[in-house]
A and B are shown apart, each in its own frame.
Chain A
Amino acid sequence: MRHQPVQDLSALPDHAYGPRMTTWWGTLAFCAVEGMGFAMVIGAYLYLAFINPQWPLSAPAPGLLWSGLFTLVLLASVWPNHLAGKSGKRQDLPKVRLYLVIMSVIGVVLLVIRYFEFFSLHVRWDQNGYGSVVWLLLGLHTLHVLTDLGDTIVLTVLMFTRHGHGKRFSDVGDNAFYWNFVVLTWLPIYAILYWVPRM
């Protein structure tokens, strides 16, 4: 079949930022997948809480100190995360570097706090169904903090080597976007893990 040119694409840009790029949509779709995973485990938690007359099962409610600290730091991280995303959009390399380093440090701090949080749960995963589902929910969220931290560190290294240009800035935005997802999913999990047993 012969071709008949009707449109010229040569003037189009070769990258953009946010939802104009395929990567952003990929990130969104993976957020949907993982959000669904969270929803399933939260559903399992509520189901078990519903069928067991006493909840939490033979354990005091988990401690509020480390989890509270974790929540505060996580919420505070939204601001530097936002700034990282914004500098990425402006292609402002020094600021991108700065905020990515800050986000990496925050990620490490969060993991340290999370370590202590696990020990303030007052229950082991193999003690009973309650312990199992608490550890699963907290573990699943920790996995997300961990993977995003890994992603952030790799991106930071890229920004400090000669790769910090072009499409890479859009990756900074997607990384910030994903971190917001990690923060957002924590809020219902925090409420369920720490406040449902106190109701």
Chain B
Amino acid sequence: MSDLAAGKDELRDTDLSDAELSARLAKTWGTARGIIGALSTVDHKIIGRRYIFTAIFFLFLGGLAAIVMRLQLARPENQLIGPDLYNQIFTMHGTTMMFLFGVPIGEAFAVYLVPLMVGTRNIAFPRLNAYSYYVYLAGGLMVWFAFMLNTGPDAGWFSYVPLSGPENAPGKRVDFWAQMITFTEVSGLAVAVQVIVTVFKQRAPGMTLDRIPLFVWAELINAFIIVFSLPAVVTASAMLMMDRLVGTHFFNPAEGGDALLYQHLFWFFGHPEVYIIFIPATGWVSAIVVTFSRRQAFGYLPLVLSMISVGFLSFGLWVHHMFTTGLPQLGASFFTASSMLIAIPNGIQIFCWIATLWDGRPVFRTPLLFVIGFFFIFVLGGLSGIMLASVPLDTQVHDTYFVVAHFHYVLIGGNVFPLLGAVYYWFPKFTGRMMSERLGKWNFWLAFVGFNLAFFPMHITGLMGMPRRVYTYQPEMGWSTYNLLSTIGALVLFVSFVVFLYNMIASARRGPLAGDNPWDAGTLEWATASPPPPQNFNRIPFVINREPLWAEREKLPVATGLAVEKRELVVTTISEARADLRESSPEPSIWPLLAAIATTIAFVGSIFTPWAVVWGGLLVAFTLVGWFWPKNNKEDEA
């Protein structure tokens, strides 16, 4: 059989004219029409688009929650919402931003862009990709539905025990939180595995390690951080569920458990989490800086190495979230040193980007504006992070608004500003149309001013003694003016997002056509049409330079000989990227959706009865068999 598949009578991409090849490949790789077709799709671009859309949708939900909080805090002893609703809202805000936006947005961009940037036709394990999206969506919707039914989690995005334990948090609120963790972690880990394998094995021939685009490096390193950190939070949340539902005593000090065990597990994930949010953004920044400096990256190797060392170091910092728990001082000093150490690779990145801009010829379009905003904000947040790394200083600012200011500078500066830049940058590729530059400038300035107005005063309120997570404060504390300023800033920031949303919708309909490569960028995603056809590339690019489109401006070198009438892609060797196999890529299937539904039933059921793990598990097993069972088509029988 395999001999027949490799036979010479098969239609190859060398046998056809460009137009006919494109049409036939589009048919082979396309997604069927209709609702079943849409739900069965395994096209990484369609799934990636859904991922990005969903993550940005959750960003807006989380932002709305923030606005409600800011309105409540605008005045002392405000009666807008009470402590119950406030606690649910701040928990939903943190949970949404961290788990439903922060982690998924980086992976969402990877799902869309990594296969294009490494020059392949689909992501590795495309059905798993579809599954992971559905599971993510189900988890996010579940927790928001629970919130709307007044069963929203209310113990913070960190859900410390014993506040979240069986005695202090009766009801199902915290269970929904813990199970949402399971949903998003399952999907996050699955995508991480796909990204790793795609980058390792599906790079276009010739894309040696030192020709991998910086964005792809960032996503690869991010995937590794995810693989090694997310299991910790799954362990923590599973133990919490078990304490709550089946009477285990992991965190019960009266029965040999320990409350700090939860914190250790949670922060072993929680600190790398910050870098899971930041590392993809370094990829966006690198791509934008290079394209808009019109110069190749200065210090490619140091940039890659510093991303890798950030990845390693991020696992050595978790205790700096626990400096006030009374840990031994010597251990705490070690974590001071390692926390400060991470400033060095981050510094290297900043310096290399500035050097690239220095020697380049900057083009001031909206994506670059957001990156400049990123420099202002992120560097400030990174430096205030050095204060938090110091044990003594941390005892003053920990759990105050100073920390709130710090991590919003790091996360909004380090992720959201680059994200907005990235959307402006890749929107033409996603939709085929340009976004409005005029609205883009409005968007940037409103966001920049609003952000700083909202968050800079929080440094001061924190030092003046305002703790985090308070639903109100007394007028005599002297925090009122700063809080009012923050609220006004938050509203301005929100307006900037409305502008952003409007710009996206309007431009998707009426924006000027982009063409293949509107920014004259150098990486492979710009070598194909905008939006790319289902097969991504008519022929697989052959890579001879880190910026292939800058090196060869007339003709794209390609590798040929792939089948046209079945889904086939090139598998290459791991470091040299020599072409090794023509592996088949799975066809669309409805089973990933069914498996995701079964998973959802099992997870949600287990909130109410532990037996759901058993019968839900059987249901999942059944759908998995259906998923992997051969269907006698060309790809399966290869």
Contact = CB atoms under 8 A, between A and B. Distances in A.
B555 A2 contact: yes
A154 interface: yes
B232 interface: yes
A1 B2 contact: no
B255 A129 contact: yes
B110 to A, nearest CB: 14
A25 B200 contact: yes
Given A3-B538, A52-B256, A33 B205 contact: no
A36 B231 contact: yes
A13 B6 contact: yes
Given A21-B583, A30-B193, A44-B239, A9 B231 contact: no
Interface string A153-189: 0100010000101110000000000000000000000
Which size class do A's interface residues fall under?
Answer: 35 or more
Interface in A13-38: 13-16, 20-22, 25-26, 29-30, 32-34, 36-37
Nearest to A44: B261
A199 interface: no
A37 B189 CA distance: 12
Contacts of A41: 235
Given A26-B124, A128-B255, A150-B621, A165 B2 contact: yes
Contacts of B5: 14
A101 interface: no
Contacts of A32: 227-228
Interface of B is mostly: mixed
B242 A132 contact: yes
Interface in A112-143: 125-133, 135-136
Given A25-B201, A44-B239, A129-B257, A7 B193 contact: no
Interface string B182-207: 00000001001110110011100100
A126 B554 contact: no
B581 to A, nearest CB: 6
B258 A48 contact: yes
A12 B205 CA distance: 13
B576 interface: no
A111 B83 CA distance: 50
Given A1-B516, A20-B581, A44-B235, 4 more contacts: A7-B560, A52-B256, A129-B256, A130-B256
Interface of B: 1-2, 5-6, 12, 14, 18, 124-125, 189, 192-194, 196-197, 200-202, 205, 227-228, 230-232, 234-235, 239, 242-243, 246-250, 252, 255-258, 261, 264-265, 268, 516, 527, 538-540, 542, 549, 554-562, 568, 570-571, 579-584, 621, 625, 628-630, 637-638
